[in-house]
Amino acid sequence: MTKILLISLTMLLLFTDTEIVAQVYPQIIPQSDSRTELGYDEGGEFNFVRVQFDTYYGQGFGFGTWSIDFPDADMNFLRGVSRLTNIRVMSEPIVLRIDDEEIFDYPFLYMLEVGQAGGLILDPSETENLREYLMRGGFLLIDDFWGQRQWDNFYAAFSQVFPDREIVELKSDHEIFHVYYDIDGPQMIPALYRSDDFGEQGIDYASNHAILDDEGRVMVLINWNSDMGDGWEHTYHPAYPTRYANSAYRLGINYLMYSMTH
C-alpha cells in the first residue's frame, strides 16, 4: 500500500499537464457515467494486479512500460468480470512488484510490454519470488508484445525464472480457450486505430504460449502479437470496434477462470 501511495504522489507531482498524463495514465471516464459504475465489494474474490517492473532503458517508475493502458484497462476489465460472470470483484486495481510478498494473496497477475525498452530486468529476488508464486498455484498473464525482437528480449530475462522448462505453444483445442467462453484459439486484438490486417509492426496473426507445471497446468500465459489491454482500455472509445473489445474480454475472462480453477 505504501509503494502505491508513493507512486501516486510521484505521478501527481511530476505530471501536471493533463495531456501528458492521458498518454501514460489514461483518464478514467467519470464515475457518474452509468457505464463505469462498480461498487466496492469487501468480500470480493478477485482484484486486478498489475506487475510493475524495470527495463534495461528505464526503471519501473513513472513512464515505465508496465504502466501502459493504466488504469482504464484494469478498471474496465474488473467491470467486465463483474457484469459477465458471478465473480465478486474489488473496484480498485492494484500495482505490485514481483518481489512483493503480497502477490501470494492474489491468484492472477498481469504484465505487459515485456519486450520494449530493451526488455524487462528481473533481479534474483524477483526471479525467486515469481518462481515460488507460480509453483504454488499462481498464474501470470503476459500481454501486448510484438515481433521476434521483443520476444527475444522477453525470453532473455524470463528464461531465468524456469531455465529447465520449455515454452510451449497452445493450440486452439486447449482447455484454456473453452473453460468459460468457447473461443477458437488465440485472437489478434489490435491497438486503437489498427485492424486485423495492420497490427503492431505489420503483424496480422497472434499466438499463445505457456509455461506449464509438472501436472500440465498453465502457470504463465504468453499472449504474443495481440493487445488485450487496448481492448479493455478502449471499451467506450467511439473509434474502437466493439468486436475487438469483446474478444479481449472473452479471452481475459477465460484466462481468469482458468487461473481460479486450476
Where residue 93 sits, what CATH number does that domain have? 3.40.50.12140
Q: 4-40 pLDDT, tens per residue?
A: 433 333 333 333 333 322 233 333 343 445 455 665 5
Residue 36's pLDDT is what? 54
Average pLDDT of span 101-118: 92
Q: Structural domain of residue 171, as residue ranges? A: 2-16+57-261
Q: Is 77 among the domain residues?
A: yes
Residue 42's pLDDT is what? 66
Residue 117's pLDDT is what? 79
Stronger pLDDT, 254 or 193, i.e. the higher one: 254
Q: Is 36 among the domain residues?
A: no
Average pLDDT of span 201-209: 80
Q: Is 50 among the domain residues?
A: no
Q: Is 184 among the domain residues?
A: yes
Q: How many domains does the chain have?
A: 1
Q: Is 51 among the domain residues?
A: no
Residue 38's pLDDT is what? 61
The reported pTM is: 0.82
For the chain, percent of residues with pLDDT exceeding 70: 77
Residue 14's pLDDT is what? 33
Least confident residue range of 59-68, 122-131, 175-184, 225-234:
59-68
Q: 65-97 pLDDT, tens per residue?
A: 898 889 999 999 999 999 999 999 987 899 999
Residue 44's pLDDT is what? 76
Q: Are 45 and 1 in contact (CB under 8 A)?
A: no
